[in-house]
A and B are shown apart, each in its own frame.
Chain A
Amino acid sequence: AQSVAQPEDQVNVAEGNPLTVKCTYSVSGNPYLFWYVQYPNRGLQFLLKYITGDNLVKGSYGFEAEFNKSQTSFHLKKPSALVSDSALYFCAVREGHDYKLSFGAGTTVTVRA
C-alpha cells in the first residue's frame, strides 16, 4: 500500500529565508510524487511532480523538490520565501497504475514579514 508522511504540522519562516517542507513516502514499486498547495476556501493547486529522471524537479512559483530514493523523501523547497507563500501544502504519491492519489496530512506554512 502506498502512503505519505509529512512530519511537520507547521513550518514558520521569515520572508526572504529558505523554505523547506518535508515529505517521506512508502510504496512497493516506483513512485509518482506530487506537491499541491491549498489557499483558504480554495481547492488544491498543482505545484510540481516527479516521474523519473532528474532528482531535482522545478515547479510553479519558484518551488522545487528533491527526490531521494535512498531516504524515500521528496522535500519541497523554495530559496526565498514570500508572505504570499503562506498556505497549506500537501505531498501526494501514486504507485504505478493505481488510480488513487494518496495525500499526506498537510503542512501549514506561515511566512512572516
Chain B
Amino acid sequence: KAGVTQTPRYLIKTRGQQVTLSCSPISGHRSVSWYQQTPGQGLQFLFEYFSETQRNKGNFPGRFSGRQFSNSRSEMNVSTLELGDSALYLCASSLESGSGANVLTFGAGSRLTVL
C-alpha cells in the first residue's frame, strides 16, 4: 500500500515568486491536512480538506491557499514568497471516522527554500 506522496521533495525559489506543492494521499483516505514545520515555530497547522471542502484553517496569511480534487489529491500554493516561508511543508492523510481519533499518516515533506 503506497504511502502519502509529496512532490517536489526539494525546491528553491526567490522572494516574490509563487510555489505549488502537491500531495497524493493514501488510497481511500479522504481527509488531507497540511502543516508547516520550521525550527523556530515547530509544526503549525495550515488547513484541512475533506471531499474538496476546506473544513479548518490555521492562522496563516491569505498568501497560503490550498485545494483538494475529487480524487482526494491536494495542492497548496504560496504566493509572493517571503524569506520566512522557508520550511518543510508536510502533508498528512487520514480516514474520516468522525471520532477525532483519526491517525494522520504523513508524507516525507516538501523542503522549500526561499532566497
- Residues of chain A whose beta carbon lies under 8 Å from any beta carbon of chain B: 32, 34, 36, 41-46, 49, 51, 90, 94-106
**Is B31 among interface residues, defined by CB-CB distance under 8 A?**
yes
A–B complex contacts, Cβ < 8 Å, 8 sampled? A42-B108, A44-B106, A45-B106, A46-B103, A100-B48, A101-B33, A101-B45, A101-B104
Interface size on B (CB < 8 Å)?
26
| Chain A residue nearest in CB terms to B50 | A99
Inter-chain contacts of B111 with A (CB < 8 A): 41
| Chain A residue nearest in CB terms to B54 | A99
A43 near B42 with CB under 8 A, answer no
B42 near A46 with CB under 8 A, answer no
A34 near B103 with CB under 8 A, answer yes
Could you tell me the distance between the alpha carbons of A97 and B89 in the complex, rounded to whole angstroms?
Answer: 24
A105 near B42 with CB under 8 A, answer yes
Question: In residues 76-108 of chain B, which contact A (Cβ within 8 Å)?
Answer: 90, 92, 98-101, 103-108
- Going nearest first, the 5 A-B pairs with the smallest beta carbon separation are A43-B106, A103-B43, A44-B106, A99-B56, A51-B101
A46 near B104 with CB under 8 A, answer yes
Inter-chain contacts of A104 with B (CB < 8 A): 42
B109 near A43 with CB under 8 A, answer yes
Could you tell me the distance between the alpha carbons of A106 and B40 in the complex, rounded to whole angstroms?
Answer: 11
Quote the shortest CB–CB distance from A22 to chain B (angstroms). Answer: 16
Given A43-B4, A43-B90, A95 and B100 contact (CB-CB distance below 8 Å):
yes
